[in-house]
Chain A
């Protein structure tokens, strides 16, 4: 299972990465594989205030609809418009082109409270 070292993770299988002052959010390789073929992504409104742990996006696979939770608190600064036409990017490239939204963090230090790649790998081992 691919778990890049350059970002943080959540127990609910989101990843979060600081880029140019914004926290980029997506779902992990494990999450996309569990969901199966992604056919629709409902992204949040830009400008929406979100709290850490709040359901802010929905990923629909053929099988089911799953919530995506904000890893940190802040304001939605951007969403991945490419997913409207190519939701399958979430399956094909979950850590790059398949990102979901960006949050302008209320407190950038909050990112440090998320799971390290090693801790997330342990979470996956426990779930397996």
Chain B
């Protein structure tokens, strides 16, 4: 167990590799109750969220969700988030555990002048993530809803073994899957029902290797208050509309960019220098050995003009690296 943002979380239940492969090939279950949940309600909920987030929640019909970010006013990111439209004028915002207090303060400040009500419901919700190609097949017989017509990024309420839950066809692994919002009192029962249905419990370690293989950023590593998402593969999140901090976000060029690196030998880790011709041109922000590729993979911020002759410095030795598109592996589509 490790301490993470004030929560005790298991790094692994059996082994990171076996849990990782279970999610890629079958189905795995994560307890991600540490994530924060905010509700935004009111006549100006949409206007407020359009101002406070980079993606455009005006595109969301009721029952749909989108990946987004909270911009600050100096071209950086307060947090990366998921926005779920759960009702006509009601949105659920899921935020990173380590950022709950920061996001709450930030959003509360921006909400002044809007006719909205914010609720920090983080302690009222447990969150389980069922991920993998067999997730829908495992979950379908346990829930009232028919999962066949639920597309990626849809969200709805239903009942799971008699327990009221909100399901969302979202996740952080690159696989098909569902996130299950439930009351803390019901969470253990839901967990047990899914494990009994043959799902593999998976810990924080596999969650990190899975998201990295999928090329997803982790706040505090790839994204910070100082990093501009315009200079990352996630630039698509930024939609053409007015939003908080837009001028800082969209001015100037990108001195550095976020890239995926593949190494034939050597395992890159966060903090290792990236070099080109012996000169340091950047830094690895996340790295591991990909359990699928059995090769070193990394996300790294490097100088925008650096491309050839790249290497990662590992304990004083240079290991050649090349820029590759993310995701690093082919992922299940849904």
Contact = CB atoms under 8 A, between A and B. Distances in A.
Interface residues of A, number: 12
Chain A residues touching B, majority SS: strand
B267 interface: yes
A39 B205 CA distance: 14
A2 interface: no
Contact of A60 (B17, B205, B209, B289): B289
A100 to B, nearest CB: 16
Interface in A42-56: 42
A63 B267 contact: no
Given A62-B288, A63-B205, A39 B267 contact: yes
B15 A37 contact: yes
B109 interface: no
Interface string B285-299: 000110100100000
A63 B291 CA distance: 11
A65 interface: yes
Nearest to A34: B11
A36 B16 contact: yes
B315 interface: yes
Contact of B15 (A36, A40, A58, A60): A36
A62 B205 CA distance: 8
Contacts of A65: 267, 269
B12 interface: yes
B218 to A, nearest CB: 15
B209 A62 contact: yes
A37 B17 contact: yes
Contacts, number: 34
B306 to A, nearest CB: 24
A62 B294 CA distance: 10
A36 B12 contact: yes
A62 B297 CA distance: 11
A127 B12 CA distance: 19
Interface residues of B, number: 16
A88 B315 CA distance: 22
Name, among A40, A63, A65, the residue most crowded by chain B CB atoms within 10 Å (CB to CB). A63
B315 A62 contact: no
Given A37-B15, A63-B205, A58 B288 contact: no
A63 B16 CA distance: 8
Nearest to A33: B15
A78 B289 CA distance: 27
A116 to B, nearest CB: 30
A82 B97 CA distance: 42
B269 A62 contact: no
Contact of B289 (A42, A58, A62): A62
Contacts of B20: 62
A1 B11 CA distance: 20
A36 B12 CA distance: 9
A46 B289 CA distance: 26
Nearest to B266: A40
A63 B17 CA distance: 10
A42 B16 contact: no
Interface in B191-215: 205, 209
A42 B20 CA distance: 24
Interface string B202-236: 00010001000000000000000000000000000
Contacts of B16: 36-37, 61-63
B291 A62 contact: yes
**A-B pairs with lowest CB-CB distance, top 4:** A37-B17, A62-B16, A39-B289, A60-B267
5 contacts: A36-B12, A39-B267, A40-B267, A62-B289, A63-B11
Given A40-B289, A62-B291, 15 more contacts: A36-B11, A36-B15, A36-B205, A37-B15, A42-B315, A60-B267, A62-B16, A62-B17, A62-B20, A62-B205, A62-B209, A62-B289, A63-B11, A63-B16, A64-B269
